[in-house]
Structure 1
Amino acid sequence: MLKFNQIKLPKFSKKSAIAVAGGVLFLLFVIAIFRSMPSKITLLEYDNYLQAGAIQNAIIDNNEIIIKTQNGNFILPKEMINLNELGQKVAVEMSSDYSFIWIILILVLFGFISFIIFKFIPFKEISKSKNKLEQPLDNISSQITPVVSNISFDDVAGISEVKSELIEIVDFLKNPSRYTNLGIKMPKGLLMVGPPGVGKTLIAKAVAGEANVPFFYQSGANFVQIYAGMGAKRVRELFSMAKSYAPSIIFIDEIDAVGKARGGNRSDEREATLNQLLTEMDGFLSSSGVIVIAATNKIEMIDEALLRSGRFDRRIFVSLPDITDRSDILNIYLQDKRHNVDIDLVARSTTGFSGAALATLVNEAAINALRNGREIITNDDFKAVENRVIDGKKRIHSLSQNEKQIQAIYQSAKALMAEFCSINFNQISLLNDKFGLSDSFLSSKTDLLGLIKVHLAGISALDLIAGELYTNSKDDLKQAKNIAKELVMDYGMGTRIKPDDDEPGLLLEQIRIEVDELVVKMRAEIESLAKFLIENESASKSDVIMIIKRINNG
């Protein structure tokens, strides 16, 4: 049998003892509260207490009366008793607020529980965890700060085509009354579309610099947060601060990160942020003096709601610089450097380079000159680093002379076919083009067939003139197939209302024969325009028409 001193009793720490004592006190406190609560009694029981003189005092509380006796407190409706009779025997008080006693008791109880919590849960840990949660939200405001841009249009080369549209925005920011007095509403949003490195951010800064207004820069990725509600909060604070600094410019780079089309891989946080952005753009007037400029190189991924009228009303397409633009860009980057460079020669050898790639090229050439102990940059420095820049930039497509010839024939055939079929276009270059139907609500079968002919013209021209086909036709073939499928399957413009799966392919074969015949007739114009493209790298619609007239009149 175990002795008393051998029995191991559980050890209680000081904190545990206080907790147990606190628990007991809390239990007694609750019992006392419940015991003090008045109980309901019948009218007969009330009469017995009244006749026996057991009622000590009474309190009228709204439509009820509380009587206090030695046996406890009781409550019954005021209408059931005779207050005059009661008042002759005991003192009757009017309660200013009987519930005030209960509020005091509850506050005391709350204070007691709070004391226990803060006594036994380390406050530092509570404060630390709280700060971790609140810190991202508190830091949002400090991260949204305006800057005053010192960049002007003179500092940005290669934007002659988009400059006219941007000048209107600048003038509106400088002289808003000039437009509002005539009832003119400037676009709330301007979307710049173009490949990476063409200077979309620099253009937005130049607009802010020319207008001399605050510039708020945010990347679309900044709105995509792991904490629920933070992205929407950042959007609200961004627009709120921009309005307070109006006139001002909000620039959202890579807007496709937050404005991606909804559906599919759903993200509630991303959708909440996008909805907040849509709400903010709907919520401010075009006369507020705030203009939103956004940039993307993936316009096809952006939600349609962002692109509708009243949000991003105006779109500007910024393409890769042509030979003239590259010369201007190189001049700007070399103006503060000592050099003996044939800029036109460098511009001709850098087809497909973006503005950012040219900046890297100039910097690498300067480093190469320094490495070789020279203070003056020469063409040899550019030749030495050109391949290094090309290899380091996957998106740069530098064309050889033979590739320029192939691209020139391909693009020339498409442009001439577009002019022949009345398909809209403004400009073509060795690497870029944009052909499309008119902005009318309806498109005819003739329009769709003409667009297919444009996409197939380059293939026919290369087959006829170069005697070879190349991989540059991939995107055009895809477009031609899609249009043919929609024409036959969706619009019922084929030979039968209920077509079979082979009809789109048969239609393409038939159009290819027609295109081959047209390209043979256009050969002189194609070769002449191709020569013009090799020399200038781009051609406007007016240049195409001029060459057609020159060949036909010659």
Structure 2
Amino acid sequence: MPNSKINRVLLYASAFIIIALVLFAILRDNASDITLHNAQKILENHSVKSVTVTKDYVYLKTDNEFYKIASSQVTPKMFVNYKVEVDSGSSVIVYILFGVLFLGLGTLLLRWWQKKSPLFEGGGVSSASRLDIAQNTPVEAIKSDVKFSDIGGISDVKMELEEIIDFMKKPARYKSFGARMPRGVLLVGPPGVGKTMIAKAVAHEAGVPFFYQSGASFVQIYVGMGAKRVHELFHAAKNNSPSIIFIDEIDAVGKKRDGQRNDEREATLNQLLTEMDGFESQSGIIVIAATNKIDVLDSALLRAGRFDRRVFVELPTKRERVSILEKYLNKVPHNLDVMAVANMTVGFNGASLAALVNEAALLALRQNDFQVNTEHFHQVKDKVMFGKKRLQMLSDKQKAYRVTYQAAKAICATYFDLPFEKLMLSNEKLTPSIDEPLIKHELESRVKMLLSGMVASDIKYGEHASSAKADLDEAKELVTKMLKDYGMGSSLISTDEENRILMSRLYNETKLLLESMTSAMQAVEDVLIERESITKADVRKEIDAVL
């Protein structure tokens, strides 16, 4: 396919060069300039065979030479004995060649525009042709340049996969002991933790070809096309064994078969199952797949003999975040405590940490600073977590409500030591939603923080704003989970009344806390009015002054 495209380009280029050379040869004026005296001499010798007159020159052609003299230097009497031809400058051949040249260029430009224009997806090619081209594109291995040393914070995962790398390097050692290589490895974890990079690192460390496909690439509108693609993928891997096949987002093609008719998806999944069962013991192929939804995968795909090993890639711990940050800060001039940045990035995945470092570096450049410091990370953290929001155009009264609301959340979050480093007046959310297991009092602390803004507004103004909806919804959801899902009520089966009682108790406890922190609240509000932001350390100082 690539060779035919190159040959076609060379053919077009050769045709244009030939046409250009012909036009140059025809249009090039190769006549020699002569003086009037020499022209008269040539005419008197009767050696001139033809005389051609143009607007600017008179051309004299002899047996061996071709001369020209400016029309302003000659008179008609000089050519009385000759038949004079008048050249109007037009040539049918020239026009034809120019037309061919322009048509060729126009055709190429039109084809290029069709390929680029969204109105002509596939460059004017029909859907069936595009599908045929896509399906007949050969599956090729890609070269992985990612090393394990390039990935920070996955020490446990490395230990799991180093055995597979050693197996691919020294298969005889394991076979002599009666052990067989796992047929499949399933990487399970939330988005952004580096599952694709891990698979590439395995291929690089093992020194084997790496075949990458996303699960979505197998899902086609025509029955049989996805299955064909699966077969081609495994066939190419076998021809290049030992090798690694990596299927990203395998849940797109490997969802549970629930009996509802979907011939294409089931045909593709059946082909995948068949190919994984059809491995010969010496095939030297390992299938690595990634998903963040293992619960939706078909049980046939998860059974032993297909994906023999499951590796769970979790969000990085504090120590792992330090390792990841050091990798990304390696080429960024900085003057900061990496551990402090790791402390403020609870819940960040590897991709978010990369974005955080990049945003901090861009901010330092905008501010003309020579190094990235901790303050840059404080300023961009909320932008990476929640997106950048401008403070709405608020009236003085609305802004006063917002200041009180945010000050109360900062007070509660600091008092209960919830993970945050800096509060911005423009951001409703203070800390990200959490999924890890928490003790009952930790969940109650988070609910109190979510209710605190509304409580403070009710205390100070006797009412609160509609912007409390997001926090109130999250508080209700947490309380419901505590009672119904986590069994943290007075009995394992909760009631609506118990839900109301718990929410009311947490509201009242939050109210008592904030009423005891009046002076700290006022101090935090003053800072927010002045700077529209406040750090956790500053809030801690105000709370300590009260306690």
TM-score normalised by the chain length of structure 1: 0.51
SS at match of 1:377: coil
* Alignment equivalent of 1:459, drawn from 440, 447, 450: 440
Q: Distance in 2 between the 1:246 and 1:256 partners?
A: 26
Residue type of the alignment partner of 1:280: E
Question: 1:284/1:393 Cα in 2 relative to 1: closer, same or farther (>3 Å)?
Answer: farther
Residue type of the alignment partner of 2:439: G
The match for 1:254 is: 249
Alpha carbons 2:416, 2:445 under 8 Å: kept: no
Question: 1:149/1:393 Cα in 2 relative to 1: closer, same or farther (>3 Å)?
Answer: farther
Q: Distance in 2 between the 1:377 and 1:302 partners?
A: 44
Q: Distance in 1 between the 2:338 and 2:145 partners?
A: 27
Residue type of the alignment partner of 1:505: I
Offset of residue 229 of structure 1: 1.2
Gaps of 5+ in 2: 1-122, 390-408, 420-432, 452-474, 496-547
- Listed one character per residue, the Cα deviations across residues 141-182 of structure 1 (whole Å, up to 9, x for unaligned) are 536221121111111111111211110011011111111111
Matches within 5 A, 1:289-438: 289-392=284-387
- Listed one character per residue, the Cα deviations across residues 401-444 of structure 1 (whole Å, up to 9, x for unaligned) are 966996999xxxxxxxxxxxxxxxxxxxx95658xxxxxxxxxx
Alpha carbons 1:252, 1:293 under 8 Å: kept: yes
Gaps of 5+ in 1: 1-127, 410-429, 435-456, 482-502, 508-554
Offset of residue 263 of structure 1: 1.5
Question: 1:319/1:156 Cα in 2 relative to 1: closer, same or farther (>3 Å)?
Answer: same
Instruction: Note if 1:152 corresponds to 2:147.
Output: yes
Matches within 5 A, 1:162-177: 162-177=157-172
Q: Distance in 2 between the 1:403 and 1:176 partners?
A: 55
Residue type of the alignment partner of 2:354: A
The match for 1:110 is: none
SS at match of 1:505: coil
Q: Distance in 1 between the 2:207 and 2:411 partners?
A: 44
SS at match of 2:254: coil
Alpha carbons 1:198, 1:318 under 8 Å: kept: yes
Q: Distance in 2 between the 1:466 and 1:161 partners?
A: 34
Task: Pick which of 322-331 and 264-273 moved more.
Answer: 264-273
* Alignment equivalent of 1:244, drawn from 231, 236, 239: 239
SS at match of 1:287: coil
Q: Distance in 1 between the 2:377 and 2:333 partners?
A: 14
Alpha carbons 1:180, 1:287 under 8 Å: kept: no
Q: Percent identity?
A: 52
Matches within 5 A, 1:9-158: 132-142=127-137, 144-158=139-153
Alpha carbons 1:459, 1:473 under 8 Å: kept: no
Residue type of the alignment partner of 1:140: Q
Question: 1:327/1:288 Cα in 2 relative to 1: closer, same or farther (>3 Å)?
Answer: same
* Alignment equivalent of 1:200, drawn from 195, 199, 207: 195
Offset of residue 137 of structure 1: 3.4
Question: 1:219/1:177 Cα in 2 relative to 1: closer, same or farther (>3 Å)?
Answer: same
Q: Distance in 2 between the 1:462 and 1:475 partners?
A: 10
Q: Distance in 2 between the 1:289 and 1:475 partners?
A: 47
Q: Distance in 1 between the 2:226 and 2:414 partners?
A: 46
Residue type of the alignment partner of 1:319: E
Matches within 5 A, 1:277-292: 277-292=272-287
Alpha carbons 2:483, 2:492 under 8 Å: kept: no
- Listed one character per residue, the Cα deviations across residues 334-386 of structure 1 (whole Å, up to 9, x for unaligned) are 10122222211111101111000011111111111121223422222212211
Q: Distance in 2 between the 1:406 and 1:247 partners?
A: 54
Offset of residue 472 of structure 1: 4.7
Alpha carbons 1:224, 1:269 under 8 Å: kept: yes
The match for 1:185 is: 180
Q: Distance in 2 between the 1:283 and 1:324 partners?
A: 42
Residue type of the alignment partner of 1:458: I
SS at match of 1:288: coil
SS at match of 1:272: helix
Offset of residue 290 of structure 1: 0.6
RMSD: 3.8
Q: Distance in 1 between the 2:251 and 2:179 partners?
A: 30
Question: 1:266/1:341 Cα in 2 relative to 1: closer, same or farther (>3 Å)?
Answer: farther
Matches within 5 A, 1:435-454: none
SS at match of 2:161: helix
Offset of residue 505 of structure 1: 3.0
SS at match of 1:266: coil
Residue type of the alignment partner of 1:459: K
Number of residues of Structure 1 aligned to a counterpart in Structure 2: 318
SS at match of 1:191: strand
Instruction: Note if 1:505 corresponds to 2:486.
Output: no
Q: Distance in 2 between the 1:255 and 1:133 partners?
A: 26
Offset of residue 467 of structure 1: 9.4
SS at match of 2:325: helix
Instruction: Note if 1:212 corresponds to 2:207.
Output: yes
Alpha carbons 1:458, 1:473 under 8 Å: kept: no
Offset of residue 230 of structure 1: 1.1
Offset of residue 391 of structure 1: 1.4
